[in-house]
Structure 1
């Protein structure tokens, strides 16, 4: 995976965007817990620093993360990975999660993170940058549309996990 650009100050004073580092795993996990609470999905939460660490910083990382830091505190994160479009015959950047603590929203952090990820996709020669949004999260939908995203009304996410995944794999 290509490295991210160096850290930069964005939005409100003293907010620094940078590539996540090993020391950020605990903070990222805390933000993931906050996101799960916001999305009312805590019943699905299994993340721990020990489970996340190898996937971001192990021998074969499968995802990357960016953080926004204010006064030494991580206040936002974005976790993303490379996917592939068969129609474009190009890789793409998939944003799994972006979360900004509520008290820091409206200060340009989310916009700066999306902009930086779009630039990363362009710099890597990727054909697209995409993510999902919950249909009830009107604020996020409006924000993404203002940023130029198209919410795809005809597409539905399909998912197989847990016991259903094991059952499908054993057919």
Structure 2
């Protein structure tokens, strides 16, 4: 396996949306949940590269191809009173695993956060992705047993939003 010295990290551009979407599909395949991917390259273009960007994405390149990506966005901790970075997706292409690319992406994301005055990184890991858990722990992340992530999606989200609208 080639060392990671030939890897460059750059910010994704609008023309990279197909590669970003491919990375999401790769990650979903790895965790066995491709059916959960509802986004399209058009969604990524609209929400990641317009005036009101919902996310940023770093791409790792090696040998003229995309080797990995780290998709993140700004977060805010009311407890710390400071912003931080939330990593939504980190993926390294299977052909490039074992070369330190994931670590390079995370180190660059941390450096970006620090340069912006942000003070932490948070992320969630699929509960069965033990490889990812070990990777993040090796980087110094800790599993916060006092935090549980809840989500509201689809019809339940629509119902809650509708209830608010009906009370006005």
TM-score (norm. length: structure 2): 0.91
Mapped to 2, the partners of 1:153 and 1:136 lie a distance apart of: 16
The question of 1:130 aligning with 2:122 is answered yes
Mapped to 2, the partners of 1:142 and 1:14 lie a distance apart of: 25
Count, aligned residues: 161
Mapped to 2, the partners of 1:138 and 1:110 lie a distance apart of: 15
Task: Tell me the residue number matched to 1:84.
Answer: 76
Task: Tell me the residue number matched to 1:156.
Answer: 148
Mapped to 1, the partners of 2:34 and 2:134 lie a distance apart of: 25
The Cα of 1:26 is off from its aligned counterpart by 0.6
Aligned to 1:170, the other structure's residue is in SS state: helix
Mapped to 2, the partners of 1:17 and 1:126 lie a distance apart of: 20
Please list, as runs of the form range in 1=range in 2, the aligned pairs for 1:1-171 lying within 5 A after superposition: 12-171=4-163
User: What is the RMSD computed on CA atoms of the aligned residues?
Assistant: 1.2
Task: Tell me the residue number matched to 1:8.
Answer: none
The Cα of 1:150 is off from its aligned counterpart by 0.5
Q: Which has the higher contact order (CA 8 A, sep 6+)?
A: 2
TM-score (norm. length: structure 1): 0.90
Whose Rg is larger? 2
Mapped to 2, the partners of 1:44 and 1:141 lie a distance apart of: 21
The Cα of 1:46 is off from its aligned counterpart by 1.2
Aligned to 1:78, the other structure's residue is in SS state: strand
Mapped to 1, the partners of 2:78 and 2:69 lie a distance apart of: 29
List per-residue Cα deviations over 1:54-97 (Å, max 9, x = no partner): 21111211110000111221121111000110011111100000
Mapped to 2, the partners of 1:129 and 1:44 lie a distance apart of: 24
